Amino acid sequence: MSPFSKLLTTVAAAGLLGGCTTHEAEPVAMAPATTAQETAMYDVNQYPLIERAALFGNPERAQGRISPDGQWVSWLAPDEGVMNVWVAPMGDMGAARVVTDDRHRGISNHQWTVDSKYLLYLKDNDGDENNHVFAVDPATGATRDLTPYEGASAQLQGVSRDRPGVILVGLNDRNPQLHDLYEIDLETGERTLVLENPGYAGIVSDNLYRPRMAAAMQPDGSLNIVWLKDDLSPGELFASVPSEDVLNTNITGFSRDNNVVYMTDSRGRDIAALTAIDLTSGEAEVIATGSKADINGIFSDLETYAPIAYSSNYLKNEWTALTPEAQAELDFLQSNLAGEIAVTSRTDDDRYWVVHQSAAEAPGVYHLYDRETDTLTEWFGTRPALADAPLQPMHPLELKARDGRTLVSYLTLPPGSDADGDARPEAAVPMLLWVHGGPWARDSYGYNTIHQWMANRGYAVLSVNYRGSTGFGKEHVNAAVGEFAGKMHDDLIDAVDWAIAEGITEPDSVAIGGGSYGGYATLTGVAFTPDRFACGVDIVGPSSLVTLIESFPEYWKPFLAGTWFRYVGDPSDPEQRKDLLARSAISRVDDISVPLLIGQGGNDPRVTKQEADNLAAAMQAKGLPVTYINFPDEGHGFQKPENRLAFFAAMEGFLQTCLGGRAQPIGDAFEGSSAEIIAGAEYVDGLDAVAGGRE
């Protein structure tokens, strides 16, 4: 993915949930709802209640990696309850040891340097997204902050096999809006300026870290990618990306000799294709095209960097080989591993691969693949305690919106509710409509913590790739322009109507919830269509589109024209500002008539705390039922397991009161969390008991 596409992805990103497993618990009695629900609840009560800690606590292990030289393996795992980096010599897991010492929010990512001398990870301060790049010596555990600049956001732009000992980093310590490019020496920590950013939305560098192109957002939302001259001043136009293609067209990398650029490109077509542009001749070649979904993943040859396989995700993610050798590898892996597969790391000689395997009913398992001996060895499961849990299948669906648009969606049903496996319960059950964030993101098939948790509690869970979701072609993305609280919301209502018509649920038994844009969709649901939902769960969702856009981080501003201004509006324009407010829940508080649960991160730089504060205060002033929990040490979502357990305990009790599903008592779920219960403890059973001292 190119630097400028990384910036756009940053705007679109909304991932905020994680989970893992422990042991099962006894079922807990539930309040009855309708007769249909009571029948379904009787069935689900035959199955053990999965403990929240098993779902939302830390994984036992995660993110398996192998060093490029094949001498080490690494992974993330808890140490004293906090996620840290662990290493072991290849083939000697008995010598495993932890090499980092985080005691706060934990480490959520890591990778090896190309010379295998260091492990790298990014970490911010309590969710403020001002990431620093850290390097760890796997032999000694010595850790250094390579970007020790207060208030700056570091972006890891390059870790190239062709520049061992050096990484490429973007830093905005000079100008908060712009990331300059620096090379950083891994041994000394010395940084060398490569390019001082004069105002580009992104910079494209090759495998040798030479800036080759720069992207500039235009007022109409289009993107001009220009060549950079030898003196790094802008040169001729390399590519013009119309506004309707910006979210579907990306430079993904260079060939090993830096003479070919690979792209996923939707220009002149709806579904993004994989293309190659010869930089010497200027000739463009279409390598592969998707049928119903954009090409979303590329697997490259380690010597030439040419694509040898690609993935496309419509109902499920599927890999297609481009060479006979890649086809043989895919055949071998798919014949030995059920579910979806992904190669997460490889050694320099390409002998060893780390392969991740997952399915809806089977959380991720990592395998070591020795290509020389054709042996595939299971390494570890991320959530082994869920092996015997009653996890449920996820059903991919193609629903139809009222205007005929196809909405790829995913449905999970409670255990025991669908005896014949036709994706329809024998009797209607309460349902949670769970809306993904972004909105420039998507729901996908696979293990999903929310789906499994809620199904285990007795709810159907439906997730919908409403218009604006990415991966289904640019026409589907662009159908969202101007449709916040409009057709984007209609798609969700149409999915609910489908579920009611199919007997999955009943009109008075549907809740809506989600995070980020999903939180906005929740607020839209309870404020604009309050008669359609029994209650709502809003996690870091904006209550006002005006204050949302006006409070975005400084380094988002160079590319807002192509995303938020184009899709939603520019609050600096009086007419657009008025329209933005009209599509915000804060302007419709009087219409909210159902209970609302709000979860917020106090350091969230994307959807700031004022969004939750303002809405909760307005609802309280009007005597409306709102429960508001803030976490001062979180950002755009909940990373600390103690905070996840606290919020989702409250959510479970909230939904039990609202829809009548079963719930594990809150108990000690708030122990160790930073939760501030700002409003509405009385609306959730058991929350009053923990509210003292948290208000």
Active site residues: 516, 604, 636
Contact 140, 164 (CB under 8 A): no
Token digits for 645?
């357990």
Contacts of 651 (CB under 8 A, 6+ apart): 513, 537, 597, 599
From 207, 156, 217, select the one nearest 181 (Cα to Cα): 156
Q: Find the helix or strand (DSSP H, E) in which 547 lies.
A: helix 545-550
Closest CA to 435 of 552, 526, 565: 526
Report which secondary-structure segment, H or E, holds 442: none
The terminus-to-terminus CA distance of the chain in angstroms comes to 44
- Distance from C-alpha of 317 to C-alpha of 299, rounded to nearest angstrom: 14
Query: What is the H or E stretch that residue 501 is in?
Result: helix 487-501
**Under a CB-based contact definition with an 8 Å cutoff, are residues 110 and 119 in contact?**
yes
Say how far apart CA 350 and CA 348 lie, in whole Å: 5
Tokens for 502, please give them.
């199919």
Placement of tokens 């010492």 in the chain: 101
3-state secondary structure (DSSP) of residue 690: helix
Structure tokens at 388: 């015997």
Q: Rounded to whole angstroms, how far apart are CA atoms 534 and 530?
A: 8
Quick check: helix, strand or coil at residue 586? helix
Helix (H, G, I), strand (E, B) or coil at 567: helix
DSSP type of residue 578:
H
Sign of CA dihedral 441, 365, 118, 145: positive
Concatenated DSSP letters of 624-660: --EEEEEETT-BSB--SHHHHHHHHHHHHHHHHHHH-
Give kind and range of the element (H or E) at residue 537: strand 535-539
